[in-house]
Structure 1
Amino acid sequence: MSEIELMIDGKEIVAERGQTVLEVASENGIDIPTHCYKKPYEPAGFCRICVVEVQTSGGKPELQTACTYPAQEGLEVKTNTERVKKSRKLTAELMLARCPDSEAVKELAEEVGVKKTRFSKKNKDCTLCGLCVRACKTVSGDNIITFVGRGPDRKLITPFELSPEECKGCGACAEVCPTKVIEMVEIEEVEEK
Structure 2
Amino acid sequence: MGDRMEEQLLLVPSGRGLLPSLAISAGLLVFDVVSGLTGKLPSWLAIASGSLFAGLVVAGVVILARSWNKPWQARLDVDGVTVRGLPLVPWSALAEVRISRLRPSWLTIPRRDRVVVFVPRPGQRVPSVVVYGPSRSATSTFGAKTRLRVYGSSFVLVTSLVKATPGEIAAAVRRLSTVPCVGD
User: Considering the TM-score relative to the shorter chain, is it more than 0.5?
Assistant: no
TM-score normalized with structure 2 length: 0.26
TM-score normalized with structure 1 length: 0.26
Q: Highest relative contact order (Cα 8 Å, sep 6+), 1 or 2?
A: 2
| Higher strand proportion (structure 1 or 2) | 2
| Higher helix proportion (structure 1 or 2) | 2
